[in-house]
Each structure stands twice: as structure tokens, then as C-alpha cells.
Structure 1
Amino acid sequence: MSSGSNLRSEDQFLCSICLDVFTDPVTTPCGHNFCQTCITQHWEVNFPFKCPLCKELFTSRPQLGKMKKLLDLNRVQQCAVDVTLDPHTANPWLILSDDGKQVHCGNKRKKLPDNPERFSHCINVLGQQSFSSGRFYFEVQVKGKTDWDLGVSRESINRKGDITLSPQDGFWTVGLRNRNEYLASAGPPVCLHVQPGPEKVGVFVDYKEGLVSFYNVNAAALIYSFTGCSFTEKLYPFFSPCLNDGGQNSAPLIICTVNQPDRCSYNSSRLNLLVKNRQSKRR
């Protein structure tokens, strides 16, 4: 399941049916958000089932998903962790920076020991840090790249020979191909419509809830979420800068320090004020 949110106006705090602050917000399959009671009552008296905003027609009563919180990016950024690349897992074509924060594909395969942790064929590297509980979040700059993959993987993944990125094989990733083709490696891959293209991608994991979410940090928008995942072992941050492509894809992936945009603080305060005003009116 995927959904998007854009923190651009106060109107996004309001349900378009009741014109009030969201109560138990849910998302329709077309991506619009409503109070759960409002959209439920709307469909009880209106048939066929349509989205009140875009008028998309549903052949049967659609299943509603829980709306991602309007300030979801700001919230998950509170779970930021320090991630560095593990050179013992890096494919021999990869070049890592001394501080373990950058990686790109070089022009020559290095002679390195084929230890069990190392990716022998695919252009991948893992983070040094592992996680088996709680929540964690990290951000990666992808600016200037034509191809890349990012996400998390379980500890027991295959690291030798050809690898398929899919949850069934222990990978939860999104990626870019051919400069503008975004996909989620959901097995089979899911094509994503991402506009504008991200310069920085945030990766959030809630281990207990089985959730992996990806964010376009610059647009403060959700790109895609894997939900209902079953995690039973350690998870590692996963990075693939992909092949150099004759210098066309030579820009590095860069693990960034997480900074919270000022507008998130403003919107958080504004949302709290709207909620307080609503509660006052009800008294």
C-alpha cells in the first residue's frame, strides 16, 4: 500500500466533507483523505461508490487505509539513527569514503577477500548497524544519479551471485532506473509516480508494526510503504549505487545528517492550534 502527503497548506489538516480537522483520518485507494465517519456515512447514502474529491469510481465499496499523519515525515525524523557503510559487505567494484558515509561504483574491481558478508556480484553494500526492535530512520542523498536502490534487508540474505530484490528474498527497497523510472521492489515490482524526483530519500522502519516507508525529503512526501511485513531477524540498511554506466551514474549515494525543515515545526504548531480551537467549539 502506498500513499502520499504534502505539507504545503493548512487545508491539508481539514476533511473536505465536514470542513473540520480530521478525526480518525483514512485514505481512499485514489489517495484522498477523509474522516472515517464522514466517508463511511457518505457512501451509505451515495451509490455507486465514488471519491467525493476526484470522482474516481470504485466497482465495490473500497477498503480504507489509515492515513499517514500529516506531519509523518517530521515524526519519523525523530527516530533518526547514525548509519555508516560496512566495507566488509561492499562489492569489490564499490568505492567507500573514509568516513563510511558515501559510496559510488568505480571503474575497476578491487582484489578483496570473498568473505561471507561480501556481495560478490551485485553492486550492493550494507550499513554496519543492525536493528531488531523499535523504530529507525535515515536519509540518503541521491542527487545526480540515474540508477539506485535503497532500503533495508534482513541479515540472512543471499550475498553471492545474482540477487533478486524482493520481500520474499529479504529486501524491502525502492529504486530508480533510467533517470525517471521509480519502482518499489515488491515482487513483482510496482511502478511509482514520483514528482518531483527526490534529491534526498528518507527510509523509516517500524520493526514491531512491520512497516518500511520511503520519503521524498525535499517534497516532504511519502513515496511508498511496505506494510504487514513480518520481521524475525536483524535488519540492515541497504544501499546500491548501481553500475557507473560510463560515468553517467558516477554520483555517490551519501548518507546525510537528518535535519528537520522549519515548515514542519510551523505546521505542527498550526495543527495543534486547529485541534485546540475545535475542542473549544465543542465545549
Structure 2
Amino acid sequence: VWMCSLIQSPYHVDTTSVKPASLITGILIFPISVLTVKRQYEVDVTLDPDTANAWLILSDDGKQVKHGDVRKNLPDNPKRLNCWFDVLAKQSFSSGRFYYEVQVKGKTYWWLGVARESINRKEITLPSLQDGYWTICLIDGDSYYAGADSDVLSLKSRPQKVGVFVDYEEGLVSFYDVDAEALIYSFTGCSFTEKLYPYFSPFVTFHGINSAPLIISPVSH
């Protein structure tokens, strides 16, 4: 029973079970190496400027994002994320499996994962499960969490590059430490019913701290 129990949110959303990576790897599923998912399911991901928060700076090739010093005057289109320092990818997925990698080197804050299409883009909401986000994050330079739902992650090493793997039909979102070839964490039993978008937040730069960008790695094949 304990292997299949659901995490209950304050809003009584019970469609998603959350398990530590150790349980996922050792008990519930066979270990899937980062090299295996990379070879088979890696996709080309680019950032969508129409969704980017006005404080963010995107590179011309759509592969890097960082927080800027000035809020840009951008059109408030329906796709734009107004109240959090985040951006979505241009690409969406509503079936199958996909994988991508993001460099997080030099950062003290970041959020990564996937978000459903219907997230609230205009009001302040943390990237939590009940609001349609499946993410992990680094806070204050040394504390890792499973999204905004307060599951603290104990990691043996500090990831410099994070791999994100999604199996839509199986309801699985897994995060890898690419260099260590280790599974960090998995959300399982997720109920996906709409498009999923890769999600990125470089968070805020504090007096030069956390100024490094998030960098989407080029596809290796």
C-alpha cells in the first residue's frame, strides 16, 4: 500500500502520486539510465518569447534565458506569463515520450520541468502540482525541492545539467543529474489530459548573484 499511496494536496487533488527517486529506481520500475532516454527520446526544445515574463532576457537562438535588470514593455498576449519569472517552450507534447537537458551551472535558484497548457498565466501562483506544474527546483543555493509542494530532495551531488524525461501515457516525469548519470526524482501516476510544455524559470538576479542563464543543451544526435 505504501508504494502506491497518493500525496494529498490542500485542494484535494489526488490524481498525481509522488515518489522519491530511490523508490522509483529500486522498487517500482526498472532503472532507466539517462543515456538510454537521451539516445531514444531527446527532442529539440526552444524558448517561446511570446510566453516569456517581461523581466526575462532570451537569447536570439531561443536556447538561453536569464533575469534582466529592467522590465520590458511587451504586449500582454494571452500566452504571456505575467506574475512569475518563467517561460515555456515553443514545443508542446500530448503523447509519447520526450527528453531534454538544461544547464544550471552557476545558479543559486532555478525551476525546471513541464507545465500543462491551461496553467494560470496572469495571477501569482507557485509552480505546484495542483496548479498544473511538475517541477524540481533549487532554492538559496543548496536546497532542492520537488516543485512547490515541499518535498525536500537529498542529493549526493549538485547537478550542473538536469535532464527532464516525460512518458505521457505512463504519467511519468523524471529528472536526472546528467553528469552523474543518476535519477534525481520522479513524479508517477500523473494524469495528463492536455498539452505539456517544457517549463523554465531562472528566477531573480540578486546584486549579480544567480545571474547565470539557464541553457538548453543542443540535441546530441
| Partner AA of 1:215 in structure 2 | Y
| Partner AA of 1:222 in structure 2 | L
Q: Are residue 211 (structure 1) and residue 176 (structure 2) matched?
A: no
Structure 2: runs of 5+ lacking an equivalent: 1-18
| Partner AA of 1:189 in structure 2 | S
CA distance in 1, matches of 2:174, 2:60: 29
Shift of residue 258, structure 1, vs aligned partner: 4.2
Shift of residue 188, structure 1, vs aligned partner: 2.6
Asked whether the equivalents of residues 3 and 68 of structure 1 are also in contact (C-alpha less than 8 Å), the reply is no
Q: Deviations over 1:39-86 (max 9, x none)?
A: xxxxxxxxxxxxxxxxxxxxxxxxx423323xx212211200000000
Secondary structure at the aligned position of 1:161 is classed as: coil
Asked whether the equivalents of residues 87 and 96 of structure 1 are also in contact (C-alpha less than 8 Å), the reply is yes
1:165-176, aligned counterparts within 5 Å? 165-176=127-138
CA distance in 2, matches of 1:99, 1:90: 14
Asked whether the equivalents of residues 154 and 235 of structure 1 are also in contact (C-alpha less than 8 Å), the reply is yes
Which of the residues 42, 56, 70 maps onto 1:94? 56
Which of the residues 88, 103, 116 maps onto 1:154? 116
Q: Deviations over 1:76-115 (max 9, x none)?
A: 1120000000000000000000000000000000000111
Partner of 2:6: none
CA distance in 1, matches of 2:28, 2:193: 25
Partner of 2:101: 139
Partner of 1:3: 21
Which of the residues 201, 220, 223 maps onto 2:184? 223
> In terms of Rg, which structure is larger?
1
CA distance in 2, matches of 1:100, 1:121: 21
Partner of 1:239: 200
Which of the residues 73, 76, 82 maps onto 2:34? 73
CA distance in 2, matches of 1:198, 1:218: 7
RMSD of aligned C-alpha atoms?
A: 1.6
Greater strand proportion: 2
Percent of aligned positions that are identical: 59
Partner of 2:140: 178
Secondary structure at the aligned position of 2:157 is classed as: coil
Secondary structure at the aligned position of 1:89 is classed as: coil
Q: Are residue 193 (structure 1) and residue 154 (structure 2) matched?
A: yes
Greater helix proportion: 1
Asked whether the equivalents of residues 89 and 199 of structure 2 are also in contact (C-alpha less than 8 Å), the reply is yes
TM-score (norm 1): 0.69
Aligned positions, number:
202
TM-score (norm 2): 0.87
CA distance in 2, matches of 1:230, 1:257: 29
Asked whether the equivalents of residues 44 and 219 of structure 2 are also in contact (C-alpha less than 8 Å), the reply is no
Q: Deviations over 1:221-249 (max 9, x none)?
A: 00000000000000000000000112101
Secondary structure at the aligned position of 2:21 is classed as: coil
| Partner AA of 2:84 in structure 1 | C
Instruction: Answer 1 or 2: higher relative contact order, Cα 8 Å, separation at least 6.
Output: 2
